[in-house]
Amino acid sequence: MKLRLLRCAQLTLLTALAAQGFAAIRPPKVLLVVAHSDDEYNFAATTYRITRELGGAVDEVVITDGESGYRYSLLAEKIYGVQLTSEEVGRAHLPAIRKQETLRAGRILGIRHHYFLNQKDEAFTLDPESALHGSWDTKLISAFLDHLLTRQRYDFVFTLLPSEDTHGHHQAATLLALEAVARLQTSERPAILGAEAVEHDQTVRFSGRPGYPLAETIANAPAFIFDRRTSFGYHDALSYAIVVNWMIAEYKSQGLFQTDIGKHDQEWFWLFQVSGVRASLATAGLVEDLLPRTRSSTHR
pLDDT for 266-282, tens place per residue? 999 999 999 998 999 99
pLDDT at 22: 42
Mean pLDDT of 90-99: 98
pLDDT-based confidence at residue 291 (cuts at 50, 70, 90): confident
Does residue 18 have a pLDDT over 70? no
What's the pTM value of the predicted model, to 2 decimals?
0.89
pLDDT at 292: 56
User: In sequence order, what are the residues at sequence separation of 6 or more whose Cβ sits closer than 8 angstroms to the Cβ of residue 43?
Assistant: 32, 158, 195, 197, 226, 267, 269
pLDDT for 135-174, tens place per residue? 999 999 999 999 999 999 999 999 999 999 999 999 999 9
Which of 63-67, 164-168, 179-183, 295-299 has the least mean pLDDT?
295-299
pLDDT for 225-275, tens place per residue? 999 999 999 999 999 999 999 999 999 999 999 999 999 999 999 999 999
Mean pLDDT of 35-58: 98
pLDDT at 25: 64
Handedness of CA 10, 13, 17, 23 (dihedral sign): positive
Mean pLDDT of 119-125: 90
Query: Which of 87, 96, 109, 137 minimizes the C-alpha distance to 39?
Result: 109
Q: How far is CA 186 from CA 144, 161, 191, 195, in A?
A: 19, 22, 11, 22
Percent of the chain with pLDDT over 90: 82
Domains of the chain: 2-17+29-294 (3.40.50.10320)
